[in-house]
Structure 1
Amino acid sequence: MSELTMQQQLADLGTAARYHFTGVFERYGTRPGAAHDVPTVLLTTIRLNGKQLLMLNLWLDLTKDFRRLGELKPGDKLKFSGRVAPYINDYQGEKMTDFSTTSVGYQISYPSHVKLANPFLKRRRQALPVDQATLVRQIIAWNNPAEA
């Protein structure tokens, strides 16, 4: 299925309601924030109600619902709810009104009610660091084991 078809499926859902999704945990990451780096989570194979494939991958902020699960491992299947939200995909104009409809993309935002659907490893999960800076350092170490 092409990326354009998936984007159209997301657009067709609309932005008014919350939907139920599943996704497979791939890894943790970070993105630059205003004051500090923000921890993120990469999910793959995002499906609507566990059936219809909507996205191949999705980066989300590591919210308290994700943190509550403890340390996730690649392959953990997650259930969550969220909203479809538009974003400007390739804005290059001088004014905020200078963009075409083709530059609007759709993503899943505001994840909540995050649960493990089937953990890849059935074990007690280690809690993630509470302190944001410590968590970011831990994620960097996980992603760059040679530097740790």
Structure 2
Amino acid sequence: MKWFVPLAGVFILIIGFFTFTMFGDHFNNFAQAYAEDDLVENAVQKAGEDPRVREVVGEIMPVDKMAVLNGEVRYSEDNNAVEMTIKINGTKTSAMMDVAAERAGEQWKYHKIDVRIKNPPEKKQTIRVLAVSE
């Protein structure tokens, strides 16, 4: 029982840290993106349909939910807009995919999908899959 009070205090400090710091915001963004399967899956599908992406990256493998946690996610406009970067793996190489989208009802409307290839260095490039001019 002597351990309960210090353990409860540490738990309260951790909760406060997540609640009142920017780290808490980042954690919430990742958690929301992790829960929104269609956001990532639809972007990957669109990228996988691009002939240049297929040529350079190959067939894109299904994205593991953990890929979202290895990337970057920023929600805005009351969580109705998102900018994210996630790692994708293809049959030929891996790449980073940058996505900008906004919620339109229950669906996501994509404004930007870029696939960035870094390795090997001789194939370094950015493939613009989708760009909506404003």
- Tell me, yes or no, whether TM beats 0.5: no
After TM superposition, the score normalised by the length of structure 2 is 0.27
Structure possessing the higher radius of gyration over alpha carbons:
2
**Which has the larger strand fraction?**
1
Q: In proportion to residue count, which structure has more helix? A: 2
Name the structure, 1 or 2, with higher relative contact order (CA <8 Å, separation 6+). Answer: 1
